Amino acid sequence: MEPSNWRSDGGGGLAGGCISSTLLNIISGEVQSYWEQPFAQPYFDNSTKREVTATVGQSALLHCRVRNLGDRAREKESESLTQQRHDSPQVSWIRKRDLHILTVGILTYTNDQRFQSLHTEGSDEWTLRITSPQPRDSGTYECQVSTEPKISQAFRLNVVGKYIIWRRVRPTTRRGGPFT
């Protein structure tokens, strides 16, 4: 029997699910925050750098951190896209200027092999690596999570050339000394 000050809708709705889940966690000795509950939706960790400057020829890394994705998007490298569950959210990288899908999960969907998705199983971080970026790669890239509705976070990449600074030195002479 529940105490009279507890509100429950039989466990089927949000309030009941939260109370039941929290009680089970307390009973089992685990303490989880509200956002770590199984029914919470994925969201972006906004502490990652969203504007990145890279030098031509040196790898560019765009880091997207998705919290609360859980096991829903953890895929094994050997699984094909058709073997993955259709209801599990996937993390994708999109190039905004032409809406080109670059990666889905850890799979690359572009012929340009300079683009690669990096992800360590069990982590929240999904990194787009662009090997040997060129100025034409500058622009906006989007990290998308295929929830319903879709959520996305934009990243700006600026690729700059290598600069060589020349210093003009005036020749000097000292009386009776060498010309330098």
Largest CA distance in the chain: 107
Same domain, yes or no, for 107 and 32? Answer: no
Q: What is the pTM of this model?
A: 0.64
Among residues 143, 147, 169, the alpha carbon closest in space to that of 157 is found at 143
Q: Which residues span the domain enclosing 54?
A: 43-160
Same domain, yes or no, for 141 and 56? Answer: yes
Same domain, yes or no, for 58 and 12? Answer: no
Same domain, yes or no, for 112 and 136? Answer: yes
Q: Identity (one letter) of the amino acid at 128?
A: L
Q: Identity (one letter) of the amino acid at 120?
A: T
- Give the total residue count for the chain: 180
Same domain, yes or no, for 51 and 101? Answer: yes
Residue 174 CB burial class (10 angstroms; 0-12, 13-18, ≥19):
exposed
Tens of pLDDT along 77-117? 444 444 444 457 899 999 999 999 999 999 999 999 999 99
Among residues 100, 127, 120, the alpha carbon closest in space to that of 111 is found at 100
Domain count, the chain: 2
Same domain, yes or no, for 53 and 128? Answer: yes
